[in-house]
Amino acid sequence: MSRIGKKPVAILSGVKVSVTDRMINVEGPKGKLSWEHRAEVAVTVDEDAKQVVVTRQDDESFSRALHDLTRSLINNMVEGCANGFMKALEVYGVGYGVLLQGTTLTMSVGRSHPVVFEVPAGLTVEVQIPQARGDNDPAKFTISGADKQAVGEFAARVRKSRTPEPYKGKGVRYAGEYVRRKVGKALAAGG
């Protein structure tokens, strides 16, 4: 049996989990999520032990894979509704910046036009306004929400608007992300 799939998911305090047919509903202080699991696995909620148990019906390869996946997705739903997920991003480059107006995220990343994103429902974007920003200080912002997949996908789409380049390091990157720098061309001596 799988190591990940057989571990029960602990229901954190302040989170309610219910299963109706194949629909899993999780509600907590950070939001409300629902997801329909596949028929190859069964999900039961143990209210006394405050945990969710995932079991599979047979030992087929596909069922074993769904067993682990279902358990991980339910764990992410419980964690997201209790604490939420967050991705921090930084924009490096002279003249590069980020602006939030309502639910519209506008980025200046060295293109001839600003790159505009609509913030999806359920996600929150916060732009940190620095007191005094120097040339090497990045513009910083965070994307947060209860749905781990939605937070990661939107952060990846924003990062893709200008991926960090290896020569000057300009672009959008995750906070703490290492960008390998290359040495530029050197002029030939004595011509």
Q: Which domain holds residue 33?
A: 9-82
131-152, pLDDT tens digit by residue? 666 656 888 999 999 999 999 9
41-54, pLDDT tens digit by residue? 999 999 889 999 99
Q: Are residues 55 and 96 in the same domain?
A: no
Q: Is residue 188 included in any domain, yes or no?
A: no
Domain boundary residue among 82, 100, 129?
82
Low-confidence ranges of the chain (pLDDT < 50): 1
Q: What confidence score (pLDDT) does residue 115 get?
A: 95
* pTM higher than 0.75: yes
Q: Do the beta carbons of residue 30 and residue 93 sit within 8 Å?
A: no
Q: Are residues 49 and 121 in the same domain?
A: no
Domain boundary residue among 82, 107, 126?
82
* 37: nearest Cα among 17, 49, 15, 54: 54
Give 71-77's long-range contacts (Cβ < 8 A, gap of 24+): 71/4, 71/5, 71/7, 71/9, 72/4, 73/35, 73/37, 74/9, 74/17, 74/24, 74/26, 74/35, 74/43, 75/9, 76/148, 76/149, 77/24, 77/26, 77/33, 77/35
Question: What contacts 178, CB < 8 A, 6 or more positions away?
Answer: none
Q: What confidence score (pLDDT) does residue 133 get?
A: 61
